Amino acid sequence: MKRAVIISFIMIMAVVGYGIKQIPMGKVLPHEYPLGVCTMETKMCNKCGEKKLLNEFSKVCMAKDGRHGTCKNCINVVNRKYIKPIINFPNEIWKDITIDNGRYKGLYMASSYGRIKGVNKNIQYLNKNVFYPEKIMKSMLNKKGYLHVFLTHNVKYSCFRVHRIVAESFIPNPLDFPEVNHKNGIKIDNMVENLEWTTHKGNMVHAKINGLLSPRIGMLNGRSKLTRDQVIKIREEYLAGDKSQNLLAEKYMVSQSLIGAIVNYKLWKSI
């Protein structure tokens, strides 16, 4: 008895409820009733005054119909007005980037000042048209001191060095040189005037002339088997006459020739 009363009450409310559509018995619910509850098919936007389908309104829990009062398109237009425009530097030039065989052309641009920006674009993501306003891409330092950025294409991220992007976009490379050199030796200065194409040998010569190569001596050398303190003790023990080169080699588990080079100052000359 109670069950029949409850079913009758639900059917009456479905018929007389304001703005609610009755669901025919025995039929499968259409896509506009995802929760199995009767709901309105269309709604008027508070901003543009047009009647639109419910899927064009964002979901809001507190609303009576569970949808936002302003359609998604009007919200996007309002948000674009508050986007801060990019301020160009004096005589700054922007060009489409050509790195990776022009894969990112139309999506990103490089500046003559060494800046990278994403352009205004609409991207289809999960069956939705998402608007991305133009913005300056954030660059980060890698372990070698160069700036790099992450670029997106088809929801896939790739990392590129900024100086490489700028050089390929602005500087011709008729001789097909493989590397880009910073003329003033400052790795984060990626202005066009500071970049040039060169060979690996030319890059190393430039670094050596300008004192940019740090000598890998002592413990900085990756092949070093001893520490600075051990080298000092080896020389002290050998000069004191306590141990021979062979005994020192056994103690520190190195070759006798290495001990001889250390005590004769052929190696570890900086100490």
Per-residue pLDDT at 168 exceeds 90:
yes
DSSP per-residue codes, 99-162: HHHHTTBTTEEEETTS-EEEPPEEEEETTEEEEE--EEPP-EE-TTS-EEEEEEETTEEEEEEH
Per-residue pLDDT at 21 exceeds 50:
no
Structural tokens at position 67: 């949808």
Least reliable range by pLDDT among 176-185, 210-219, 221-230: 210-219
- pLDDT given for residue 179 in this prediction: 95
* Listed ranges 10-19, 33-42, 182-191; the one with the highest mean pLDDT: 182-191
Residue 148: partners with Cβ closer than 8 Å, 6 or more residues away? 139, 140, 141, 142, 159, 160, 161, 162
Element (H, E) at 233: helix 228-240
- pLDDT given for residue 92 in this prediction: 94
- pLDDT given for residue 213 in this prediction: 73
Q: What whole-number distance in Å separates Cα of residue 93 and Cα of residue 109?
A: 10
Element (H, E) at 257: helix 256-263
User: Considering the chain, what percentage of its residues have pLDDT values greater than 90?
Assistant: 28
pTM greater than 0.75 (yes/no): no
- pLDDT given for residue 25 in this prediction: 43
Q: What whole-number distance in Å separates Cα of residue 227 and Cα of residue 32?
A: 73
* Listed ranges 16-30, 133-147, 168-182; the one with the highest mean pLDDT: 168-182
Ranges for all domains in the chain classified under CATH 3.90.75.20: 94-209
Mind listing the pLDDT tens digit for each residue in 107-165? 999 999 999 999 887 766 666 676 778 889 999 998 888 999 999 888 788 999 999 99
Pairing of strands 156-161, 128-132: unpaired
Please tell me the CATH code under which domain 94-209 is placed. Answer: 3.90.75.20
Q: What whole-number distance in Å separates Cα of residue 250 and Cα of residue 261?
A: 15
Handedness of CA 23, 29, 32, 36 (dihedral sign): positive
What are the residues facing 4 on neighbouring strands? none
Q: What's the chain's average pLDDT?
A: 79
Per-residue pLDDT at 194 exceeds 60:
yes
Mind listing the pLDDT tens digit for each residue in 61-86? 677 777 878 887 776 655 554 567 78
Ranges for all domains in the chain classified under CATH 3.30.60.130: 40-82
- pLDDT given for residue 191 in this prediction: 95
Query: Across residues 199-226, what is the average pLDDT?
Result: 76
Residue 28 banded pLDDT, cuts 50, 70, 90: very low
Query: Across residues 182-188, what is the average pLDDT?
Result: 91
- pLDDT given for residue 20 in this prediction: 43
State the CATH architecture for 40-82: 2-Layer Sandwich (3.30)
Element (H, E) at 52: strand 51-53
User: Considering the chain, what percentage of its residues have pLDDT values greater than 70?
Assistant: 75
Query: Across residues 182-199, what is the average pLDDT?
Result: 94
Query: Across residues 216-235, what is the average pLDDT?
Result: 75
- pLDDT given for residue 6 in this prediction: 62
Give the residue with greater pLDDT, 129 vs 15.
129
